[in-house]
Chains A and B, each alone.
Chain A
Amino acid sequence: MTTITIENIKKSFGDADILKSVTLDIKDQEFTVLLGPSGCGKSTLLRIIAGLETQDSGVIKIGERDVSALPPRDRNVAMVFQNYAVFPHLTVFENIAFGLRMKKVSDDKIKHNVERTAELMHIEHLLSRYSGQLSGGQRQRVAVARALAVEPDVLLMDEPLSNLDALLRLQMRSELKNVLEESKTTTVYVTHDQVEAMSLADRIAVMNEGRIDQYDNPDEIYRNPATEYVGGFIGNPPMNFLTSPHWSNSAPDGAQKLGIRPEDFLVSMEDQVGYLPVQIQTIEKLGSHQQLTSELEGQGLRINIASELPVQQGGILFLQPKPEKMRWYDVRGEII
């Protein structure tokens, strides 16, 4: 239970600048997700917080403590790895107890902590087994239990769900959310999966080529993407970006592009004032709504419309963006 302060962290491997001056303030008990595509530096940042990598410059503080130069074992962090890293030569009990044994905690306390966290993760019946006898999902539970058992200041998770199959991932996601909320541990979680990020995070840090483009709560990130990159990365399908559309009369100075989410259009089958015609290229019926790929003035446009509207491929539809949902971006791709 503590804050994490990350100041001007830089890291390069050879010629590649992986992190270009990253600054991040994580509050006590907050669940922060580092989100971005592979290669954006999110795992490197997590590993720097853990102490597994050393930053080229910058400061990491956990609480008031400057841990920039400390080895991982002196930072009082715990980590859950993508490949679980559950020791194959130890039983589940000894795996969960590993960190406590290193701290030379009394046997009673070890037993108590192991049993408590095992129960929390629903693996209390597996304590005498070896990792080779467990499924992927069970191993993941052991890895989480091992991390929680040491009662760390900070819990770090590196794509912990990405090796699980889709159904299991959903189940583990909600379970993890409950367990972590209860544990009240400050958590940093790395993923490339935006749905995972949106559903788990108190705040998401969207990373783009070694920088943090936006650090905010999921709603804010979805509604007001700070950059064109964030709008294009979050949301499925992503935000539309239109260059100098006819709706520009309300545009502020310096506006280069209009950003508008696919679901934020007023739709009409007939021409009306302020509406523009788009040609429908493909229709995907998704049950709850229809997803259209269309063309407006030579630019591609994705639209979500109600499933009952009788649209046809090759047909024309009239659109107007909801005024309160329009976002404007300048030349550098930043929101105005």
Chain B
Amino acid sequence: MSKKAYPYVLIMPSVLFLLAFFVYPFLQVFAQAFTHSEGGLTIAHFETIFYDFNFLPSLKNTLLLALVVVPAQLCLAIGMALMISKMEKGRDTVLYVWTIPLGISDLAAGIIWLGLLDQNGFINSFLFHVGIIDEAQSWLNYQNPWAIFAAIVFAEIWRATAILLVILVSGIGLIPKEYYEAAEIFGANAWVRLWKVTLPLLRPSLQTALILRTLLAFEVFAVVMILGGSNMPVLMGEAYNWAFSYRDAGAAAAYAVVILVLSLLFTLFYLRVLRVPKEAQI
């Protein structure tokens, strides 16, 4: 086998896998979104979802959740990654503990948080037994949309900050320590070193982490479903409803395309904003 072909052969299995199980089904969905049930091109499915009363709230909720959750997670993850990188002992242990929520499915995560926040949940019973409240409170109902929102934000931050964390920890590990020492010698304190050295040199990792996390934020579903139910419509939940409750695969496909377009826009945004010119890379 020629040396030139070697890398392509090595990535072939994963490419085939992606083509078969991601690209092909997606093309199908894409086609479905623009195809009339009797055949022929149409934008009727998009009209269906755009005129649906849940479309704008679900779009708003999804964007708002992403807007709150992703920056909060980013700040947390940067802080956690910096702390971990400074540790000399027990670093792996802490990293493993912090990544445990990643191993739990988002459905299970939603159930855990419901168990905590529910009217019969741990927090209610705790507050009741300590005597802070006189009777169990129902926080997660349609009268408290902000409580639901906050609960989802908490659950999402708890569940998925570690995705950013692991990417940033490995990115920080790639920055040679001489840069920090040089910055220190030439007068930069810890705060300035973070802004003038760490973050600029971390741009490639920040880019990867943000793209990944934002795309996942647009697909937020199970946690919202459990904690908010129909009180908190999101795009992915609507896609699910159209597919399985209303039995309209075309409209569900249209939702999938909307999510894809959003994802593409944000990916392009990150690629542009956090671009590192080739000559300025480490």
Contact = CB atoms under 8 A, between A and B. Distances in A.
A190 to B, nearest CB: 14
A132 B187 CA distance: 24
Interface stretch (B157-165, B176-184, B219-227, B259-267): B176-184
A150 interface: yes
B105 interface: no
Interface stretch (A79-87, A219-227, A287-295): A79-87
Interface stretch (A70-78, A172-180, A200-208): A70-78
Contact of A85 (B176, B187, B279): B176
Contacts of A102: 186-188, 192
A133 B186 contact: no
B89 interface: no
A89 B201 CA distance: 7
Contacts of B276: 89
A131 B278 CA distance: 11
B280 A89 contact: yes
Interface in A50-89: 50-52, 71-73, 77-79, 81, 83, 85, 87-89
B197 interface: yes
B185 interface: yes
B281 interface: yes
Given A102-B188, A132-B278, A85 B181 contact: yes
A50 B187 CA distance: 12
Given A83-B178, A85-B178, A129 B279 contact: yes
Contact of A88 (B184, B188, B280): B280
Contacts of A79: 181-182, 185
A98 interface: yes
B279 A73 contact: no
A326 B226 CA distance: 92
Contacts, number: 70
Given A85-B178, A88-B201, A73 B184 contact: yes
A73 B187 CA distance: 4
B102 to A, nearest CB: 30
Contact of A87 (B185, B189, B197, B277): B197
Given A79-B182, A83-B178, A87-B179, A130 B187 contact: no
Contacts of A150: 186-187
A107 B8 CA distance: 52
A98 B200 CA distance: 14
Contacts of A141: none
A198 B1 CA distance: 55
Contacts of B11: none
B186 to A, nearest CB: 4
A132 B201 CA distance: 13
A89 B200 contact: yes
B282 interface: yes
A98 B184 CA distance: 11
A103 interface: yes
A99 interface: yes
Contacts of B186: 73, 78, 98-99, 102, 146, 150
Given A83-B176, A85-B176, A133-B279, A73 B185 contact: yes
Given A81-B178, A85-B179, A52 B281 contact: no
Contacts of A83: 176, 178
A132 B276 CA distance: 12
Question: Which of B178, B182, B200, B282 has the most chain A CB atoms closer than 10 A to its own CB?
Answer: B182
Given A85-B178, A87-B197, A130 B184 contact: no
Contact of B184 (A71, A90, A133): A71
Interface string B35-73: 000000000000000000000000000000000000000
A159 B48 CA distance: 71
Interface string B195-235: 00100110100000000000000000000000000000000
A88 B175 CA distance: 11
A132 B281 CA distance: 7
Given A73-B185, A99-B186, A99-B187, A130 B277 contact: yes
Nearest to A86: B182
Nearest to A87: B179
B277 A88 contact: no
Nearest to B177: A85
A79 B180 CA distance: 12
A83 B182 CA distance: 11
Nearest to A133: B279
Contact of B182 (A87, A89, A103): A87
Contacts of A103: 187
Contacts of B181: 52, 72, 79, 81, 85
Question: Which of B183, B186, B188, B203 has the most chain A CB atoms closer than 10 A to its own CB?
Answer: B186
Contacts of B182: 79, 81, 85, 87, 98
11 contacts: A77-B185, A78-B185, A78-B186, A79-B181, A85-B182, A87-B183, A102-B192, A129-B279, A130-B279, A130-B280, A132-B278
Given A73-B189, A85-B176, A89-B280, 17 more contacts: A51-B184, A52-B185, A72-B184, A79-B182, A81-B181, A85-B179, A85-B181, A87-B179, A88-B201, A89-B200, A90-B280, A98-B182, A99-B186, A102-B187, A102-B192, A132-B281, A150-B186
Closest 4 CB pairs of A and B: A102-B187, A99-B186, A85-B178, A85-B182
